[in-house]
Amino acid sequence: MAQFQFLTTLKKSQGSNWPCTAAKISPDGQNVAFCDGTDIEIHNINSKSTTLIPTLHSQASSDLCWSPDSQCIATASDDFTIIITHIIFGELYRLVGHTAPVTAVKFTSKGNLLCSCSMDESIRIWDTLTGSLLRTLSAHSEPVVSIDIPLFDSSILSSGSYDGLIRIFDTATGHCLKTLTYDKDWQSENGVVPISQVKFSANGKYLLVKSLDGVLKIWDFVRGKVVRTFISGESNSLRYSCGMDFLYSQDEALDPIVVSGTENGNIVCWDSQTKNVVQRIQSKHLDSPVMDISCKGSLMCSLSLNGECNLWIWVNTD
């Protein structure tokens, strides 16, 4: 039996002015970066040192993303811009083009492209080398809140929007390859269930989708079918897009774990194969919504809206 063990609190909730919405473990597993208002805060996991990198954003950023070489961070801000910041040298590019707050950013695995989505219902693809805008994909009719690119395949891009649609795009041509939705999903009292998060599995075959009714689904997006559904059993219409992620344990034989934060500060872990609840971490985040969950190796970092950030490790308890 394996489960998460509390490792450390990287950051305490201090009741700061700025809400915290994004915490990401760097691809090399050395650092954790948070959005702290307009600044980026980087915690080194090993040395436990903290660096604060100011950015030129005029408004707080919603999301950040590590470049695959763990050298740069892209931040998506409410001032409609994205800034790529090198953690040593400072700002590299300011990507200007969105006409509404940017909601999420994601580097491709090569690091040469950056995809961003925004409240202006569009997804933009940028060239990180020149800072130029390559493509605009406008195919949603409500704010696009989440995008993801598979780890080893930068040819596709998935997006989730408040209009209830999950779309798969071809990054090269910008064509929509697939739209994931089905009528059953729409049979809600309020009409459409907004999508809050999308996340590809590591093998790039499945897509984990979280919608604002608190249900997580694993889609086989090629066939357009839901293969697993996880219900956290909470309120039906959530407000915050709480974080979620896949955790792949070191032991190959074990199934990947779906880790999902809830609005009342809990973290629920499911076995992605059996749909059993493996662990339910409660009363750690003081009833504050868990805004982001980021897994890397056996590490898991959870961040709640009040600024508390905890680091967990997946260990065998046997």
Partner 1 sequence: MDYHGRGYDASYDRYASRYQSDSVGSEKRHNGRSYRREKRPHGYSRRNELFQGETYYPQSSRLSQPTTVESKTRRPAPQLRYKTARFQEQYHYFDPILKRLVHRDVMKSWVSDKLPKSGYVIIQETQPNGKPKPMLKTRYPDEKSTDPRSNNESEPKSTKISHRKPRSHLLRLPRIVYDKHSIGAPPPNEIVVYPVVRDPHNSVLDATIKNYFGTFGEISHFESFNDPNNALPLYVYVIRFTGPPEKLDAPYRSAYKAAKTFENTHYFVSGFKFVVVINRNNQSRKIIDGIIQDNLDQAAKMQKQAERQQNQKPLPSGPQPKMLPQDLERVVQGRPSLFVSKKVISVHGLAIEDFKIKLAKYKFSRIIGHASGFYIVFNDVSDAKACMYVESDILTINSRRRRKPVNIRFTLLEGKSPLVAIAKQETNKCVKKEYGTIAELIDAAAELVIQDLGRALERDIKRRIVGPTVFDALNPHNYPEVMAKRDEEEKKKLELRRIAAETKQEQQSKSTSFNIFNLYGPRFKQKVKSNGQPSTGDHKNTKAENGLDFTKTTVDQELAKPMAHLLNENSRSNTPSASELQIDEDETMLSSADEEMDDQDEHDEEGEQDDQDDQEDELSDSFEHAGKRAKFGSSEATTPESETEKYVLTSARAEEMMKISEKYRPTASESPTPVYPADLLDSLRRLSIVDLRDAVKDEEDFDMLQKISNPPMTSLSDKEEFMISSLLAELNLDYQENRKVIALQSNTNEVPFDESLRSISGNFKAEGFKKVPDKLKICYLPHRRKLHQPLNTVCNHQDAAEISSETHKLDSEKPEADTHTSEITSSRVNRAINRRFQQDIEAQKAIIGSESELLTLNQLTKRKKPVTFARSAIHNWGLYALEPIAAKEMIIEYVGEMLRQPVAEMRERTYLKCGIGSSYLFRVDEATVIDATKKGGIARFINHCCEPSCTAKIIRVGGKKRIVIYALRDIAANEELTYDYKFERETDDEERLTCLCGAPSCKGYLN
For residue 162, state whether it binds partner 1 (rule: CB under 8 A).
yes
Tell me which residues in 261-280 interact with partner 1 (CB under 8 A).
Answer: none
Task: Report residue 65 CA to chain centroid gap.
Answer: 9
- Interface with partner 1 in residues 56-115 (CB under 8 A): 56, 58-63, 67-69, 71-72, 77-81, 86-89, 92, 94, 96-97, 99-103, 108-113
Residue 250 binds to partner 1 (criterion: CB under 8 A): no
Distance CA 137, CA 173 (A): 10
Nearest to 16 by CA among 312, 283, 288: 288
Amino acid at 111: G
Q: Which is nearer to partner 1, 143 or 256 (CB)?
A: 143
Out of 171, 232, 302, 304, which residue is the one contacting partner 1 (CB under 8 A)? 171
State how far the Cα of 262 lies from the Cα of 250, in Å rounded to an integer.
25
Q: Whole-number minimum distance, CB 119 to partner 1, in Å?
A: 6
Position 177 contacts partner 1 (CB under 8 A): no
- Between CA 288 and CA 16 the distance in angstroms is 14
205 lies in the site for partner 1, by CB under 8 A: no
| Least distance to partner 1, CB of residue 103, Å | 5
Binding string, residues 20-39; x marks residues near partner 1 by CB under 8 A: xxx------------x-x--
Q: What's the Cα-to-Cα distance from 268 to each of 121, 239, 301, rounded to whole Å?
A: 30, 18, 13
Q: Evaluate whether 101 touches 62 at the Cβ level (below 8 Å).
A: yes
Q: Which of residues 122-151 bind partner 1 (CB under 8 A)?
A: 127-130, 133-139, 141-143, 145
The answer to whether the CB of 156 falls within 8 A of the CB of 167 is no
